[in-house]
Amino acid sequence: MEADYVIIGAGSAGSAMAYRLGEAGHSVLVIEAGGTDIGPFIQMPGALSFPMSMPRYDWGYETEPEPHMGGRRLAAPRGRVLGGSSSINGMIYVRGHPLDYEHWAESGAAGWGWADVAPYFRRQEDWHSGGHGGDESYRGTGGPLHVTRGSRVNPLVRAFVEAGAAAGYAVTGDYNGERQEGVGPFDSTIWRGKRWSAYRAYLKPAQAKFDVKVVNGFAERVVIEEGRAVGVALRGGKVVRARREVVVAASAFNSPKILMLSGIGPGAHLAEHGIEVVADRPGVGANLQDHLELYVQYAATQPVSLFKYWSLLGKAYVGARWLLTKTGPGASNQFESAGFVRSRAGVKYPDVQWHFLPIAVRYDGTAPTSGHGFQVHTGPMRSGSRGRVRLNSADPAAAPSILFNYMSLEEDWRDFRAAIRLTRDVIGQAPFDQYRGAELQPGDAAQSDAALDEVIREHAESAYHPCGTCKMGAADDPMAVVDPECRVIGVEGLRVADSSIFPRITNGNLNGPSIMTGEKASDLILGRAPLPRDNAPYFVHPDWETQQR
C-alpha cells in the first residue's frame, strides 16, 4: 500500500495522470470508491440516461434548495465507478473556446493560456472525422482518447444545421478546430459503438503496461505530517502511503470535501466541525460553477424521431442490435448536431450552446409526449453566479453540502431568455417546416420575459458540468487553492488536478478539458518542460461588437 504517487479518483483527470506517471516509470496507486464499468448501461452509448441515476455508478448527490429556482433541489450526479464521470456522462467532447483559457491565464493561471493547453488536447486525442468534415490540422491523432462523430443519418439532425445556416449562423466543420462559433456536427468519446471513457482510454492500458494499480476504497482524508502530504487514509483504517506526492482528482464536489476533511479550507468552517486547520484556504469549496440548461421541445409532424424505438419492442431491437453488432441507434449518444453562438452583439465569443436531440425526452428517460418529437438543450455558458461546496459533517461518509446559487444575477435571466428565443428562431426556419409541430416546452403561451422566467425557474436542469471549487491562481491570490503547477498552496507534496481547479468554466462539456488537465498536470508533476506552445490562429467574429451573428 505504498507507491511513488497516490491519486484519489479514477475519473477523467486521474486516469490520464495515472497513465502518464506510470509511462514515466513511476509506481502509481489510484484510489477509487466505485467498482467496475462492465455492463451494457455504461458501455452502450444509447443507454446514457441509465448509469447517471444508478446508485451503483453515481454518488447520488443533490443540491441544497436553490433559492432562485423556486427552492428546488437539483440532481448533482458524479461518477462513482472506474472512469468516474466519463463513464456516466453524455460522451460529448468539447475542448472549450481558446478565449476561455486566455481568461484562465489572465486570472493568475500562468502557463494555461490557449497556446499552452492546445498541445495537450492534441496529445490526448485520436480523432476520426468519419467522413463528416473537420479540421485535421488542429486535431490530434494517435492519442489514447478516441474522438468520433455519429452517423448523422437522422434527417432532424441534418435539418438543425441547415436551419442554423438559414437563420444566419455560419456552419463550422469542426467546433474543436479553428472556429467554434456556428452550427455543425458534434464530437463524442465513442469508439466502435462503445463508450470510450477515461478508464478505457488511459487507466486500463496503464494497469496492463505499467506499475499502476487501482485500490478499491473510500478516501477519507489526506494524511499530512509536518506540513507535508504523505498518504491517504481509507475508510477502515488503512493508509496508502505516497513516497513522492498525493494528487486529489475526486471531482468538483469531492476534491474540496477531501481537502476540508484533511484540514485544508476555510478555517472558521473547519473549526465549526472540529477539524484541526492545517492550511486556512478560504477558496476551498468556493467558486462553484455549472451550466444550467432548458430543453426546448417540439412535437414532430413526421415519424422520423427516435420515438419509434421507445416501445418495449423497439428498445429490445436497439439493445439486441447493439449487443450483436455494436451498430444502430444504441451505438450513438444521439447528440450529433451542435451549435455555439453569441447571445447578443458585444459578446466577444459564444456564450450559448445548443445540443440537438432527435427525440423529446428528459435526461432521466421520461418522455413529455406520447409521440414523435425533438429538442434543443440550451442555456448560457458563462453565468456570473457562484456557489459553494461545504461540509455537512466531519464524518467522511456524509455527503457534502452543494449550493450552486443558480440564476442569482439579473444578467443570468437576460442571457437565458435570449438563449431560448434564439433557439426558437432556428427551429422556426424553413428546414424544419416539414417536421415542426407544436412547441411542448416552454410552449407557445410563454412569450413574455416573466413567462419565460417562470419556465426557467421550474424546468431548467443542470448540464452536470460542476467545476471551480479548488481554483487555480497565483500563489498570492487569497482565494486560490492551487498554484499554476496544481500544488496546494500551504501544503507540501499535495496537488489537485481535475475540473475543480478551473478558474472559470469553459464553453461546452467539461470532460475534454478535465482530461487535458490531467495530461498537463502530469508533466508538471514530473517536472518536465511543457509541450511547445501552439500558436495556431482561432476565430473571433470580426464584427462581434456590433453583430450577434
- Which amino acids are annotated as binding site for FAD, given as ranges? 81
Contact 504, 91 (CB under 8 A): no
Contact 224, 278 (CB under 8 A): yes
Cross-strand pairs, 234: 219
Contacts of 523 (CB under 8 A, 6+ apart): 20, 529, 530, 531
Burial label, 368 (beta-carbon count in 10 A; 0-12, 13-18, 19+): middle
**Of 249, 231, 239, 234, nearest to 493 (Cα)?**
231
Residue in 372, 377, 465, 541 annotated catalytic: 465
Which DSSP symbol is given to 186? P
Q: Alpha-carbon distance 240 to 215, whole Å? A: 9
User: Within a 13 Å sphere around the CA of 442, how many CA atoms are in the beta-carbon half?
Assistant: 26
Consecutive H or E run containing 213: strand 212-216
Q: Alpha-carbon distance 167 to 219, whole Å? A: 51
Q: Alpha-carbon distance 501 to 543, whole Å? A: 33
Residue 154: CB atoms within 10 A of its CB come to 23
- Side chain identity, residue 523: D
- Please give the angle made by the CA atoms of 402, 403 and 405, to the nearest 5 degrees: 160
Q: Alpha-carbon distance 149 to 453, whole Å? A: 35
Q: Alpha-carbon distance 169 to 461, whole Å? A: 26
- Side chain identity, residue 301: T
Q: Can you read off the three cell numbers belonging to residue 254?
A: 469531492
Q: Alpha-carbon distance 9 to 167, whole Å? A: 44
**Of 63, 60, 58, nearest to 83 (Cα)?**
58
- Which residues are annotated as part of the binding site? 81
Residue 465 designated active-site: yes
Q: Alpha-carbon distance 407 to 472, whole Å? A: 24
Residues forming the active site: 465
